[in-house]
Amino acid sequence: MGDPGVDYEIRRFEPATKGSPGYAAAAAWMQAVAFGFHDERRTDARVDRGLEMHLVDRRILTGAYRTGPAPAHALGPDVPVATFGTMDKTLNVGFGRLLETRLVTAVTVRTPHRRRGLLRRMMIGELALAQEQGLAMAALTASEASIYGRFGFGAATSEQSIKVDTSARFALDHAPMGTVEVADPKVLLELAPQIFERVHRLTPGSIGRHEFYRQFVSGSVRREGEDGDPKVRAALHYGPDGGVDGYVSYRFCGWDKEPYTMEIVDLVAATRDAYLELWQYLAAIDLVERITWEEAPVDDPLPWALADSRCVDASTPRDMLWLRILDVGKALEARKFSADGRLLLKVADPLGLDDGTFELNVQGGEATVERVSPGHEADLELDISALSSVYLGAVHPVTLTAAGRIREGAPGAAARAAAMFAVERPAHCLTHF
Ligand SMILES: CC(C)(COP(=O)(O)OP(=O)(O)OC[C@H]1O[C@@H](n2cnc3c(N)ncnc32)[C@H](O)[C@@H]1OP(=O)(O)O)[C@@H](O)C(=O)NCCC(=O)NCCS
């Protein structure tokens, strides 16, 4: 399809605002990302807005460029044929501990240049750099589940779409401890990050949010288009002390969609009461008989709190957050473990970033990890992608053993690992990036 003789140069650079050096390259990169995800072409104002947000997040933009001229009339060599973005945020690794993590985003390759190893080049370069910079973890969300395992990523949290019937059937047995009141969604510009931060510290698998979120959930910006979203509404939950400890941002789907439906843009609750009471509020909205949410937790308390759990119609769970351990010792020592014990792990790494045999010793929940010489019979043999999936308890190691992804050297070792790696509540990630 494309010219096989083309060579590419990989460039890494920072976002830049209008009038500053590097703006043209950053703006071309933004347009290339929109193209890669089949979004509408960005207006200049939307590009500028996006770059401002990227600066807040201290993103690094990576592009692959043709080294020679482009064919006549085609996009020029200043427009990247492939894009790759990164930023650093924290990952909750259980029991309130946060681990600095390199997030990979905006991965696109222009069609005539695909399957020539551009993703591979950018990914290997970035993961090696992150490791060199001392990071123990990388993360991404995947458009297709078949792409990233080969680079050592493993699915580590799931989510599901739900449709909740809020007609007379909906009865939630919960005596409210607080109150809910409607607010101007713009208050979320300030409140959303504060409330999210509380939830982030409580939720294993949570990723710190980037600047786009507070703008998006407050209706100040849309994924596409220049303006904000005037359809967005917000309600706040006030706890018994009068402080705001949860919010829901939502929009009406229109009178032509039956049953009349409200879709949740974001629901963030820092207490159990706030979660249930925000649902009570949503269910009480007049003229609406259905609430939908695309990012619901798989282990959702809602159906268990309802008199009729079948009010919640849930999709098949989808993989959401993918993790990639870059440094086995650091990643394991960053965690607090649920059970003490010793495990000898033989870890294979398709990129050779960190493989070997590691002795994990946990005492009082604290881990020490030592690399041991090969030749010891390991308790568990697995690749880095499987270890990354086990890391926050997303999958039971016994299940991965049955799938052939873990080889158990000592009988019962997978069950022991499950008890050790368990986190205090099911992992869930509310942040798409
Ligand atoms: C997915 C995408 C980035 C791949 O880029 P690419 O440059 O063609 O990938 P590479 O040539 O570096 O391929 C690397 C490896 O991944 C495999 N691969 C790439 N895309 C794949 C896909 N969609 N499904 C399965 N395997 C895939 C290749 O076969 C290759 O395997 P190998 O190295 O083991 O032989 C590109 O197809 C794309 O832009 N897709 C649309 C946007 C998108 O989905 N982005 C991902 C967002 S999370």
Ligand 1: nearest atom to the Cα of 148: 16
Q: Tell me the pLDDT of the chain averaged across its residues.
A: 96
User: 195-237: per-residue pLDDT in tens?
Assistant: 999 999 999 999 999 999 999 999 999 988 778 999 999 999 9
Size (the chain), residues: 433
Q: Is 112 in the pocket of ligand 1 (CB under 6 A)?
A: no
Query: In degrees rounded to 5, what are phi and psi of residue 264?
Result: -80, 130
Half-sphere exposure of 423 (CA within 13 A, CB side): 25
Tell which atom from ligand 1 comes closest to the C-alpha of 109. 39
Percent of the chain with pLDDT over 70: 100
Q: Is the CB of 146 under 6 A from ligand 1?
A: yes
- Residue 117 Cβ contacting ligand 1 at under 6 Å: yes
Cβ neighbours of 375 (radius 10 Å): 6
pLDDT of residue 85 exceeding 80, the answer is yes
Using the atom order of ligand 1, give the atom closest to the CA of residue 143.
48
Q: Which of 171-185, 218-232, 301-315 has the lowest mean pLDDT?
A: 218-232
CB-CB contact of 57 with 78 (8 Å): no
State how far the Cα of 239 lies from the Cα of 176, in Å rounded to an integer: 10
Can you give the pLDDT at residue 359?
A: 98
Tell me what pLDDT residue 372 has.
95
d(CA 397, CA 416): 9
Per-residue pLDDT, 223: 85
User: What mean pLDDT is predicted for residues 393-412?
Assistant: 95
Share of the chain above pLDDT 90, in %: 96
The pLDDT tens digits of the residues spanning 141-158 come to 999 999 999 999 999 999
The span from the CA of 422 to the CA of 394, in Å, is 9
Distance CA 163, CA 313 (A): 5
From the alpha carbon of 36, which atom of ligand 1 is closest? 42
pLDDT tens digits, one per residue of 278-301:
999 999 999 999 999 999 999 999
Instruction: Return the axis-axis angle of helices 23-36 and 44-56, rounded to nearest 10°.
Output: 100
* Mean pLDDT within 114-132: 97
CA dihedral 207, 432, 248, 242 (to 10 degrees): 20
380 Cβ inside 6 Å of ligand 1: no
Residues 168 and 319 sit within 8 Å (Cβ to Cβ) = no
Is the pTM above the cut of 0.85?
yes
Best residue among 110, 114, 140, 321 to mutate for probing ligand 1's pocket (most ligand atoms within 8 Å of CB) is: 114
Model confidence at 2: pLDDT above 80? no
On the question of pLDDT at 182 being above 80, the answer is yes
* CB atoms closer than 10 angstroms to residue 156: 26
- Domains in the chain and their CATH numbers? 8-135 (3.40.630.30), 159-318 (3.40.630.30), 327-421 (3.30.1050.10)
Question: Of 120, 140, 147, which is best to mutate to test ligand 1, by the most ligand atoms within 8 angstroms of its C-beta?
Answer: 147
CA 200/CA 207 separation, integer angstroms: 7
The residue-averaged pLDDT of 354-379 equals 95
Pocket of ligand 1 contains residue 80 by CB under 6 Å: no
SS3 content of the chain, % helix, strand, coil (to 5): 30, 30, 40
Atom of ligand 1 nearest to the CA of 108: 39
**Does the pLDDT at position 122 exceed 80?**
yes
Q: How confident is the model at residue 59 (pLDDT cuts 50, 70, 90)?
A: very high
Report the chain's C-alpha Rg in angstroms: 23
44, with CB counted inside 10 A (0-12, 13-18, 19+), is: exposed
Average of per-residue pLDDT across 45-56: 96
Mean pLDDT across 336-354: 97
User: What is the band of 363 on the pLDDT scale with cuts at 50, 70, 90?
Assistant: very high
pLDDT of residue 356: 96
Smallest CA separation from ligand 1 atom 15, residue? 120
**pLDDT score, position 375:** 83
Instruction: Tell me the three state secondary structure of residue 251.
Output: strand
pLDDT of residue 189: 98
116: Cβ below 6 Å to ligand 1? yes
* Beta bridge pairs of residue 9: 65
Q: Ligand 1 center to residue 399 CA distance, Å?
A: 27
Q: What is the predicted pLDDT for the residue at 69?
A: 94
**pLDDT for the residue numbered 76:** 95
| Of 21-25, 121-125, 234-238, 372-376, the least confident | 372-376
What distance, in Å, lies between the first and last C-alpha atoms of the chain?
A: 31
- How are strands ordered across the β-sheet holding 8-13? 8-13, 60-66, 82-92, 98-109, 137-141, 321-325, 154-155
Please, which residues have CB within 8 angstroms of residue 238's CB and are 6 or more apart in sequence? 178, 179, 180, 181, 244, 245
Give the residue-averaged pLDDT of 335-348: 97
pLDDT band at 58 (very low <50, low <70, confident <90, very high): very high
Residue with tokens 């509020």: 281
